[in-house]
Amino acid sequence: MKKSLTATLLALALASAATAETITLLNVSYDPTRELYADFNPAFARYWKAKTGDDVVVKQSHGGSGAQARSVIDGLQADVVTLALAADIDALHKKAGLLPADWQKRLPERSTPYTSTIVLLVRKGNPKGIKDWDDVINPGVSIVVANPKTSGGARWAYLAAWGYAERKYGSKEKAREFITALYKHVPVLDSGARGATTTFVQRGIGDVLLAWENEAFLALKEFGADKFEIVVPSSSILAEPPVAWVDKVVARKGTEAVAKAYLEYLYSDEGQEIAGRNFYRPRNPAVAAKFADVFPKIELFTIDDVFGGWTKAQHAHFADGGVFDQIYQK
């Protein structure tokens, strides 16, 4: 009681100080959102200035999703987190109680303003003839993907491949055989999605990159569509990178209102447009329709359908001694 009183007083003191000056938010995010938030932050600042007259500066921190969650747990003062997967934000609740367990119910669409999926990026002309997931384990194909232990995108990629195999061949054993075969074709496991893209694009390693759809588009844009092409598999996973404000931090800094508004603005028409422009699939159907020719139609399954949610998937596949570890210990 006493603690919360001091916290409130402190928050009030800080809030009153803040009205006179610029408000600063810290958005702790994962690797591939650099361009998205570089685009979105000024747009939000304009919106907030027009609405309240306050200036707001959003600082960014990027890194592997798990590493970023770890920093927030250890005390990085993030007002908002925009991470690659729900499990990493769950950790903020479980390990440090920084936000309530039902954080995902506080914003629409399971707190995920934009979605993405996993696609296959191949070299121009598709020399290895990769059409779908089954082709990536053909003899002589080498696959680049990040380490699912540390990279959120790589976890989605693993689950996409597994889900495809389980749904196609109808059993967990077959799916396991497929995923084991797949990682036998991987020569480099970078620790983050960005590292994997650099390895594939810049270092010329591998025939196919299992990538976030937005990363694949960005690679085409940055390095030229004449060098790479995107192969859309017959089915993939609906990747939901969620967002949340960190209650303990915003309470202390007195930034709750602006942090909430920041995340809510991601759902606005402008926010959704910016997401679409940066190759994230907008949630809003009207905005999504505008980008219909950009994003290919894929049959998308969810993590709940195939794996029964993040907690189960995390425990069975990525925990120490889980399926992923077993693949490498044989």
**Interface contacts to other proteins, rule CB under 8 A:** 3, 6, 10, 26, 28, 31, 34, 59-64, 66-67, 69-71, 73-77, 91, 95-96, 147, 149-150, 186-192, 194-195, 198-199, 202-205, 222-223, 252, 320, 325, 328-329
d(CA 87, CA 65): 10
Q: Which is nearer to other proteins, 88 or 166 (CB)?
A: 88
Q: Which amino acid is at 247?
A: D
Q: Which is nearer to other proteins, 64 or 113 (CB)?
A: 64
Least distance to other proteins from the beta carbon of 71, Å? 5
Least distance to other proteins from the beta carbon of 286, Å? 31
3-state secondary structure of 299: strand
Question: What is the distance, to the nearest Å, from the Cα of residue 126 to the centroid of all Cα atoms in its chain?
Answer: 27
Least distance to other proteins from the beta carbon of 192, Å? 8
Q: What is the DSSP letter of 27?
A: E
Structure tokens at 140: 């002589």
Q: Which is nearer to other proteins, 193 or 237 (CB)?
A: 193
Least distance to other proteins from the beta carbon of 233, Å? 24
Q: Which is nearer to other proteins, 91 or 238 (CB)?
A: 91
Q: Which is nearer to other proteins, 188 or 323 (CB)?
A: 188
Q: Which amino acid is at 189?
A: L
Least distance to other proteins from the beta carbon of 144, Å? 10
Answer for the pair 207, 42: CB distance below 8 angstroms, yes or no. no
Q: Which is nearer to other proteins, 70 or 277 (CB)?
A: 70
Least distance to other proteins from the beta carbon of 297, Å? 28
**How many CA atoms are closer than 13 Å to the CA of 267, on its beta-carbon side?**
14
d(CA 225, CA 121): 11
3-state secondary structure of 84: coil
Q: Which is nearer to other proteins, 190 or 273 (CB)?
A: 190
45-74 burial string, b = 16+ CB within 10 Å, else e? bebbeeeeeeebebeeebbbbbbbbbebbe
d(CA 217, CA 278): 9
Q: Which is nearer to other proteins, 60 or 302 (CB)?
A: 60
Least distance to other proteins from the beta carbon of 306, Å? 23
Counting every residue written for the chain, the total comes to 330
Answer for the pair 168, 301: CB distance below 8 angstroms, yes or no. no
H runs (alpha helix) in 205-294: 213-223, 247-253, 256-265, 269-277, 285-290
d(CA 267, CA 131): 34
Q: What is the DSSP letter of 314?
A: I
Least distance to other proteins from the beta carbon of 106, Å? 22
